[in-house]
Amino acid sequence: TKYSWMAAVGTAYYISGDPQIASLTFVPRAGFTGTASIPYTATNADGTSFSGQIDITVEPVTSSAFFNDLSGASSETLAAVDFLFNRNVVGGLGAGRYGPQEAIRRGDFCLMLYRAFQFSADGEVAPFSDVPQGAYYTQAVQVLRSLGIVNGTGGNRFEPSANISRQDAALMIQRALRAAGIAAPDGSPTLLGNYGDGVLTAAYAQGAMAGLIQLELLPASWIQLWPSVPLTREDMAVLL
């Protein structure tokens, strides 16, 4: 992926050299508001040092800077959609529309994951029989297959035009995190009990869904998991 490391307490950063101070980027979790304080100790060329604190204030988001159909959306959704649009991960539907409640197709979700994580694998694996060469999502599907993030639906088929379910999206996100070198363990099945319909999660996706609950990555608006329900473009943005 584009980002090869995360900032850590105790690590020295340099004006020149690796890792560089200029490479540090603060990215708040979708929906976060408030002030984050980062203490630091700096060392001058003569060996003397001084300490300070960087305060970063994140104001609540009340509207989208790019789309006109997100009125009433949560701050979490607005921040996520605009962040991903700014980085060319997601696009609109034309005429200023984002289509927050429209379902995401499997091929499109692969494209969003591919862009968000900026995977660089060559994707040289046998193609799925129903993924046409030259489609806008073909390279993304192939790369994700080469990384073990997608396996298809059986019979060497992927069904790229079918809507992706919430539980399948959770499994793909867990695998994508792992492929990027980010810890994403299976969660305890008991966590599914926090939701009234958690028991409806398919066996193959229970670990991934519970893992995202454990990592607090599920949208705050999810009162129920609705594991087999299609993922919407709104929820997709918050998940990514």
Q: What is the pLDDT of residues 218-231, one digit of tens each?
A: 888 899 999 999 99
Mean pLDDT of the chain: 91
- Judged against a pLDDT cut of 90, whether residue 27 lies above it is answered with no
Q: What is the pLDDT of residues 51-78, one digit of tens each?
A: 999 999 988 889 999 999 999 999 889 9
Neighbours of 133 (CB within 10 A): 7
Q: Could you tell me if 61 and 44 are in contact, meaning their C-beta atoms sit under 8 angstroms apart? A: no
Looking at residue 211, the DSSP 8-state letter turns out to be H
Rounded to whole angstroms, how far apart are CA atoms 161 and 188? Answer: 32
Most confident by average pLDDT, 17-31, 42-56, 120-134: 42-56
Q: What are phi and psi of 109, to 5 degrees?
A: -65, -40
Neighbours of 188 (CB within 10 A): 14
Which residue bears the tokens 């489609």? Answer: 135
Q: What is the pLDDT of residues 145-204, one digit of tens each?
A: 999 999 999 999 999 999 999 999 999 999 999 999 999 999 999 999 999 999 999 999
The answer for residues whose C-beta is within 8 angstroms of residue 19's C-beta and 6 or more apart is 5, 11, 13
What's the whole-number mean pLDDT along residues 107-125? Answer: 88
State pTM to two decimals: 0.81
Q: Could you tell me if 96 and 67 are in contact, meaning their C-beta atoms sit under 8 angstroms apart? A: yes
Element (H, E) at 80: helix 75-86
The answer for residues whose C-beta is within 8 angstroms of residue 20's C-beta and 6 or more apart is 13, 14
